Amino acid sequence: MYALLAAVFVFVGSSTAAMAQERKFDGGRYNLRGNLWVVQELRGKINADEFEDTVRLVSERNKDTGREERMWFEVQLGFPRNMIESRRPRPFIVPLPERVSGYNVQVELKNFIDSKTEEVFMTLDETAKGPRHFAVIQIRADDVRRDARFLFDSRTLARAILSGEFIGNFRATVRVDDTNTNALLDLSGRKAFYQKAGVFSESGKILRPVAIRAFKYDTIALGDRDEQGVTQLNATIQLYAIDETDHVGTVHCVMKYDSLFGFWRLMESRIEPAEGIAIAK
């Protein structure tokens, strides 16, 4: 039987049954050693049958700092109560698809792919003071493979913003191609700053090209706007111009996973100018 899991990094309230108490973990059956802990245990339906499954987030914890240095998912698939013991599925463990570590890890099960299966949504702080890391991980288990891969990773560059640049007359254009969302920004509130930086002349003529760039996703929240039982990602993406201190705006967007084509489809977006910048009239 094909079992499907997915995991993401950020967690809020959910109807999924969860046991948050931590306990030591014996990794001997998996040849794992170290200061191992069950950080959180979740119960829900990670495949399309009627049986409740159990997912445990296991971590190797740094004894000095408390940082979760390595993490795995231990999975126990559900089975009928009357199934004979020799035929019951055995628990298995899969590592995260690449090295992920941090503090204040939280997980929950949510429907990201469809309304029939639940996936794991996870968040953690990359350092003791942040920033927050969000991710979705698909865990696959069948007769020939048991592995995990990211469906979403907030550390990657945001793909939503495809174009943006400074133009003449102290203006900038921003375009989100996927939703055909456009904005014309009025930069005159920062005229002195950009003139000193050699971007604009006193008359507003552009002196050198400046592209508007989108870096990683800043925040992620969960939603279900179309009420179809599938969780969407409500994301914010910060926009910068000259460098990472030159914040010019924020894109607010809603994304839904397209299981047919295997990517997050941008459903809607809105461009908000930063302080000192306005939407040009």
First to last CA, the chain: 58
Among 106, 73, 109, which Cα is nearest to 91's? 73
Residue with tokens 């400074």: 166
pLDDT of residue 19: 52
pLDDT of residue 10: 43
Output the DSSP codes for 23-34.
EE---GGGT--S
Q: How many CA atoms lie within 13 A of 12 on its CB side?
A: 8
pLDDT-wise least confident of 29-43, 186-200, 222-236: 222-236
pLDDT of residue 42: 93
pLDDT tens digits for range 6-57: 444 443 334 455 555 799 999 999 999 999 999 999 998 887 778 888 999 9
Mean pLDDT of 120-131: 90
Mean of all residue pLDDT scores within the chain? 87
Q: How many CA atoms lie within 13 A of 243 on its CB side?
A: 3
Cα of 74 vs its chain's centroid, Å: 21
Q: Cα–Cα distances in Å, from 109 out to 6, 59, 106, 203?
A: 8, 18, 11, 56
Query: Which sign does the torsion angle of CA 225, 275, 273, 155 carry?
Result: negative
Rounded to whole angstroms, how far apart are CA atoms 240 and 249? 7
- Say what percent of the chain tops pLDDT 70: 90
Rounded to whole angstroms, how far apart are CA atoms 230 and 161? 24
pLDDT of residue 11: 38
Rounded to whole angstroms, how far apart are CA atoms 6 and 254? 19
Residue with tokens 């000193």: 196
| Paired strand residues for 274 | none
pLDDT of residue 158: 67
Rounded to whole angstroms, how far apart are CA atoms 59 and 55? 13
On whether the pTM is more than 0.85, the answer is no
For residue 14, give the 3-state DSSP assignment.
Answer: coil
Rounded to whole angstroms, how far apart are CA atoms 218 and 226? 24
Give residues with Cβ within 8 angstroms of 64, minimum separation 6.
Answer: none
pLDDT of residue 171: 97
Among 97, 192, 88, 75, which Cα is nearest to 141's? 75
pLDDT tens digits for range 197-218: 999 999 999 999 999 998 778 8
Tell me which amino acid residue 199 is.
Answer: V
- Of residues 250 and 139, more confidence is placed in 250
